[in-house]
Homo-oligomer: A and B are copies of this chain.
Amino acid sequence: SDRYSLLVLPGDGIGPEVMAEVTKVIDWFGTNRGMSFDISHGLVGGSSYDAHGTPLTDETMARAQAVDAVLLGAVGGPAYDNLDFSVKPERGLLRLRKEMDLYANLRPAQCFDALADFSSLKREVVAGLDILIVRELTSGVYFGEPRGIHSDDNNPDNEGGRVGINTQRYTSGEIRRVARSAFELARRRSNRVCSMEKANVMESGILWREEVQWVHDNEYPDVGLTHMYADNGAMQLVRRPQQFDVIVTDNLFGDILSDAAAMLTGSLGMLPSASLGAPMANGRPKALYEPVHGSAPDIAGQGKANPIACILSFAMALRYSFDRGDAAVELERAVERVLADGVRTADLMGPEGGTPVTTAQMGDRIVAAL
């Protein structure tokens, strides 16, 4: 039987609740599909700060580097809003992404047919929508130096006397490797990539456009490539999202555009993500899987959270880390069946109402449908 090591980091807010349901799913695949999982647990974000005074300990970081895949719930919440920048819950997640060098963040925006009416967009605009956003995740303005808030006291024109600085910085190599991920993924889909930047106002955007084009011309001439300014991209996502197949973009634009794209589907509580790095010695990529949604502190601990995004993140682990596309499809089908049966957590209740199931009931129904 195949053996896989997993590090589970439930995190904050609804993270632990949704992760509990994923554990049921993992158990099912262990028992029924001849896969065996070595699971260890750890802390990240606010819960790690509470226990250790840091959003991620060196020890947890080292374990993350050693496993086949990390599963993460969510980080952050108002309890941590006044923490110093360097120990904010988000820094734990950013450290994982950076030190594991998880440069390709895959964010599918799919509209589940059973939920198409739930979108704020018209059914005909979003029904059947299936976009994959590939977001660069280890560079750009998230990590560039110099950065910080400085005193600007000897500038008499600066009321307030401070200046805040961040640096958007990309190397050609960083752009090329994430472009390759996008082109590879496009070949297994509709074979079209749209690259988004602001090359009309930023030199880093010019470099982005040129390097993506270079990878295309030299290595993937068979894939369709277009370029779009990111502001127009935001517009086109709202106007006619079905025009896109794979979108590749930088860390900051990817953050914003993928959230907008996720919301189009009306299924924010449903959308998974995979963050992938270079292959390890065993051939598997460094990998972290997490839902696109956040820690939702307002509903934490109430059994209202939708565990599907986190469960589908495990499906992505089956596909990208464990090379078990068959098992991934099996899990995705089970989710679709449960939705088609009308099973709904509170976030999926339309204006027509109905009785929502709890987080745990949704997990149980999905396991039962497997």
Contact = CB atoms under 8 A, between A and B. Distances in A.
A171 B162 CA distance: 6
Interface residues of A, number: 72
A88 B235 CA distance: 23
A283 B288 CA distance: 57
Output the residue of A159, A176, A234 with the most chain B CB within 10 A.
A234
A174 B165 CA distance: 13
A163 B171 contact: yes
Interface string A87-110: 010100010000000000000000
A204 to B, nearest CB: 4
Contacts of A121: 120-122, 238
Output the residue of A208, A253, A256, A259 with the most chain B CB within 10 A.
A256
A149 interface: yes
Copies of this chain, count:
2
A87 to B, nearest CB: 12
A125 interface: yes
Contacts of A294: 232
A94 B201 contact: yes
Interface of A: 76, 85, 88, 90, 94, 120-122, 125, 141-142, 144, 147-149, 152, 155, 157-177, 198, 200-208, 211, 214, 230-232, 234-235, 237-240, 252-253, 255-260, 262-264, 268, 294
